[in-house]
């Protein structure tokens, strides 16, 4: 099980600039702050100082280099290093997210407006890929549930659908027919409202790097990584289960739910164990935990469901 540390402070987190020097921090009493050169900006304004979240795992985060150079982001190519190679071409300012569908308070908001409206937290979450590797990432973001509450979904809304930007002139991978663009994902409304589900706008004390889903992405830590859609431009409330990219592409291998379940094998490989990024191809794998270690927080969402059928 992933252990959460309710006493976690920013004094325990290493910003990118000190990742080689390890934990050079400027302490400020109980409210310790990062000695980080990050005085970054969002559309020209100061980024709010994130608070440490009690939902963080007590596991050590991976290095900034690992997190930003080993990615799946097919809009920029199919190889793990392609996003770091090509994503700098993506223009992320200005950027807005449209909220529509079955809700009483639709709207369109800039990422800057969302960051100003919702207090951001630093949440250290494990990310598990369906290809049997994992890493630990110090995300910065806010609970999706807060945005949902303010959007006032009506009684018919049962699901939340997400869409990624389509801009092939900047996203080289979209020039191919490898997938049907835009990339689409979805959650059941109660999954989206779970406090573990966040919209992330940064990591390691900095604004989100392009290759990791700038400027705003979903993070659902108990599901496989492809559920955590990147570079979001649209969020829609629907009554019916929305189409999702990988489920449409190959429903036999990628179900709508895509919860981390070591007891259900992918048709082409076992999901019972995982290799931790950075340990090498020949490192011993570790057992994969049910719901990626977040079972106590999310298992109730699936009571009575056959998780082999609803994979």
Nearest Cα neighbor of 217 from 38, 105, 87, 103 is 87
Residue 185 lies in a domain: yes
Structural domain including 186 reads 10-24+31-302
Q: What is the pLDDT of residues 156-168, one digit of tens each?
A: 999 999 999 999 9
DSSP string, 200-268: EEEETTEEPPGGGTTT-EEE-TTBBGGGS--SEEEEEEESSPPP-HHHHH-TTT--SS-B--TTS-BTT
Judge whether 3 lies within some domain: no
In the prediction, which pLDDT does 219 show? 98
The token duo for 281 is: 């191809």
Give a yes or no: residue 88 inside a domain: yes
Q: Is residue 1 part of a domain?
A: no
In a domain, residue 62? The reply is yes
What CATH number should be reported for the domain holding residue 72? 3.90.420.10
Q: What is residue 39's predicted lDDT score, i.e. its pLDDT?
A: 33
Confidence of residue 48 (pLDDT cuts 50, 70, 90): low
* Mean pLDDT to the nearest integer, 208-215: 97
Q: Would 180 be classed as within a structural domain?
A: yes
Whether 221 maps to a domain, the answer reads yes
| Spatial separation of the C-alpha atoms in residues 189 and 160, rounded to whole Å | 6
Mean pLDDT of 101-109: 98
Task: Encode pLDDT of 162-185 as tens digits.
Answer: 999 999 999 999 999 999 999 999
Please give the tally of structural domains in the chain: 1
In a domain, residue 56? The reply is yes
Give me the mean pLDDT over the 110-118 stretch. 94
**What average pLDDT does this structure show over 111-121?**
93
| pLDDT tens track for 87-103 | 999 999 999 999 999 99
CB count within 10 Å of CB 118 equals 19
The pLDDT value recorded for residue 281 is 79
Residues 246-290: tens digit of each pLDDT: 999 999 999 999 999 999 998 998 999 999 998 887 889 999 999
Q: What are 36's two structure tokens?
A: 């980080």
Burial code of 256-277, b = ≥16 C-beta within 10 A, e = fewer? Answer: bbbbbbbebeeeeeebeebbbb
The reported pTM is 0.87
Contact assessment for residue 200 and residue 180, using Cβ atoms and an 8 Å cutoff: no
């Amino acid at each position: 099980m992933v252990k959460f540390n309710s006493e976690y402070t920013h004094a325990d987190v290493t910003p990118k600039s000190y990742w080689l020097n390890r934990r050079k921090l400027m302490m400020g009493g109980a409210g310790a702050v990062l000695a980080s050169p990050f005085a970054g900006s969002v559309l020209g304004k100061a980024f709010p100082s994130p608070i440490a979240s009690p939902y963080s795992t007590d596991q050590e985060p991976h290095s900034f280099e690992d997190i930003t150079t080993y990615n799946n982001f097919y809009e920029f190519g199919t190889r793990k290093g392609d996003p770091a190679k090509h994503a700098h071409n993506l223009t992320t300012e200005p950027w807005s997210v449209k909220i529509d569908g079955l809700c009483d308070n639709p709207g369109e908001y800039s990422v800057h407006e969302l960051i100003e409206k919702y207090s951001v937290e630093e949440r250290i979450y494990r990310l598990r890929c369906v290809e049997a590797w994992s890493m630990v990432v110090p995300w910065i973001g806010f609970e999706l549930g807060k945005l949902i509450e303010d959007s006032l979904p009506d009684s018919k809304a049962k699901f939340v659908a997400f869409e990624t930007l389509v801009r092939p002139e900047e996203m080289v991978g979209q020039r191919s027919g490898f997938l049907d663009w835009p990339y689409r994902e979805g959650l059941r409304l109660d999954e989206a409202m779970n406090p573990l589900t966040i919209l992330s706008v940064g990591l390691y004390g900095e604004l989100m790097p392009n290759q990791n889903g700038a400027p705003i992405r979903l993070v659902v830590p108990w599901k496989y990584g492809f559920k955590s859609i990147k570079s979001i431009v649209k969020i829609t409330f629907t009554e019916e289960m929305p189409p999702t990219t990988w489920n449409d592409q190959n429903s036999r291998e990628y179900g709508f739910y895509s919860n981390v379940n070591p007891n259900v094998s992918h048709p082409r490989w076992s999901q019972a164990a995982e290799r931790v990024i950075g340990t090498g191809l020949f490192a011993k794998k570790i057992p994969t935990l049910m719901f990626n270690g977040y079972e106590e927080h999310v298992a109730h969402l699936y009571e009575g469901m056959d998780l082999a059928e609803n994979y």
